Amino acid sequence: LLCSFVFSLLCKNVTGSVSKTMLQYFLEGIYLAKNRRVVMPSWTEHEEIKELQQSYSRNKVRTTKYTFISFIPKNLFEQLHRFANVYFVFLGALNFVPIVNAFQPEISIIPIVFVMSITAVKDLWEDQRRKKSDQQVNNRLCDIYDR
């Protein structure tokens, strides 16, 4: 609120029109300020500042891990970081080699496929709960204090 008031004082001269030199200085400061926070008023009527405001991301909470497309690759990647899963996948693959197999290869992969499927369903359920919680947070009403 204070920053928007100071901005309005800096950018308006005595007649009330926007001073181009001060506005250009302000815009150059925005372009140079990559590592610091710059606060701009949302009610400004200048085109360049409106374009800058539209380029910022929205204030939306998203804590979900997966999307519809990325669920299977990301979930397999996470599950194969566990040593036990890698070990049992290796044993199942090794059972497909005719010299080394102990019993039918198809039977050897059933336990690891079952365990990884149950884990994937659990991860999907948890992610859906996160998505539901995010929607509740994003749809809350809030008070905006201006001037």
pLDDT in tens, the chain (147 residues): 444 545 554 554 444 454 455 555 555 555 554 455 556 666 666 676 667 666 666 677 888 899 899 999 999 999 999 999 999 999 999 989 888 877 788 888 999 999 999 999 999 999 999 999 999 888 887 666 666
Q: Tell how many helices (H) and how many strands (E) occur in the chain.
A: 6, 0
pTM of the model: 0.58
The secondary structure of the chain in percent helix, strand, coil, rounded to multiples of 5, reads 60, 0, 40
The three state secondary structure string of 43-82 is CCCCHHHHHHHHHCCCCCCCCCCCCCCCHHHHHHHHHCCC
Q: Which two tokens stand for residue 29?
A: 């400061």
Q: Where are the domains of the chain?
A: 68-139
DSSP state of 141: -
* Among 84, 78, 87, CA closest to 122: 78
